[in-house]
Structure 1
């Protein structure tokens, strides 16, 4: 994607703390922005007037058909608590339902999950990993961003750093921090940067100034191996044969839709 002036981007979680920044970033980039929201009144209070608002619920796939119609890209910024049930029923299900609504049509996808998502023994992060796997299995061009702790960075900590291997797993801000507006910038920048395609990485900020151009930062990353459901150099203990039945159905559906 290089000419973004004619492109329509759907932002899921558009009224959330990352989504609002993603909306603003996409508008600055010249995209036509469509916001998926559950509450039109809240959207009217929080989103700019030049955003197209579509009411839908990520947990109800039948409400998403109009949201994905004729979009060129989808940015998934929705997220919930550390409850396994909430992450399964909202974060994961939202990704599965968006992919189902697309019915195999290819669009660029930017998915936000979390740093430390491969940390063993954490049932809620396993559902985030499953959402990553669905995106990779869908055949859509994608970028998966695993941000550090939101807004725990210091004022002079603005240099954007992308890591791979998911080795920071303390479960505390010591794993890395990043500002919300920078997360949004990386998600939106990934849509128009070919070097971001098929890449999964952890996102943090270090001391220093924010870069004007992130192309070289994206380019330094290793792409995921074709056909793999997991990022290279990640230690993942989720054998496909032992996965929940619901995931198996979703994986089969997105793979079949891909054709």
Structure 2
């Protein structure tokens, strides 16, 4: 098996992809902005997806790429995909399972998927739903005992980042996944208010949910994210999950031969982050 390049190697998913590939004894290279600061147990090469010309050295002798695109737009992605296609044979792209992909295919996830489809690369798309790790955004409020956020009854099937990484590693290291799109979720639906309760139980703290008016949340999210389209999409998605909960898939079980990890497990793994 040829060398595997992992982008986003220091992030929530990427660091697990790196460690799981390394544990399996495979030849893996990590693309990082600053090798001097990154602490990874593999070969590291400096590079930045926002500067496609920096990818050439990182792609030397690489057969497969795990691609995680930074940012909220596809600006510059075409050049990156073309550069990857000059060197590698296949790419596993961490996309997203968002309603827009089916209803109004205009998200940057869809744009990058289309670029990859037309690149000549062999490809597999991973479309996770809600990340359990996104609840880390509530950490400060959870420490105070009250989470004030919109749409407490929005129900999601959050997935552990270890499961996303495990599926990525499985796809990167086994045959039969070319041209496949995998929707990945956790094993259960929980409302946002229930998610807070589960995290509180894991850290030994009673946490109350306080439903925030959407208009107030919009101003808060704009200050934090700065992208009005992304904010509106997020609010619309959460509102939709109140009446149409995020579906549960069995993809993790089918591919890995075990159930997906629960939010209870994720919360125990991250208890220190909420302490």
Same fold (TM over 0.5): yes
Deviation digits for residues 41-68 of structure 1 (CA, Å, limit 9, x no counterpart)? 321xx312xx111111111111111011
Q: What's the counterpart of residue 60 of structure 2?
A: 69
Q: What's the counterpart of residue 88 of structure 1?
A: 74
- Structure 1: gaps (5+ residues): 81-85, 154-169, 218-259
Picking from 119, 122, 125, the partner of 1:144 is 125
Moved more, 8-17 or 32-41: 32-41
- Structure 2: gaps (5+ residues): 135-150, 189-249, 259-275
Picking from 22, 38, 46, the partner of 1:55 is 46
Q: What's the counterpart of residue 115 of structure 1?
A: 97
Q: What's the counterpart of residue 135 of structure 1?
A: 116
Q: What's the counterpart of residue 102 of structure 1?
A: 84
- Say if 2:163 is the partner of 1:177: no
Q: What's the counterpart of residue 20 of structure 1?
A: 15
| Residue pair 2:185, 2:252 contacting (<8 A) in 1 also | no
The structure whose residues are more often helix, as a share, is: 2
Larger radius of gyration: 2
Task: State how 1:157-196 maps to structure 2 within 5 Å.
Answer: 174-196=155-177
TM-score by length of structure 2 reads: 0.57
**Cα 1:36/1:173, change in 2 over 3 Å:** farther
Q: What's the counterpart of residue 255 of structure 2?
A: 214
Q: CA deviation at 1:205?
A: 2.0
| Residue pair 1:152, 1:179 contacting (<8 A) in 2 also | yes
Aligned equivalents of 1:145, 1:121: Cα separation in 2: 19
TM-score by length of structure 1 reads: 0.60
**Total equivalences in the alignment:** 181
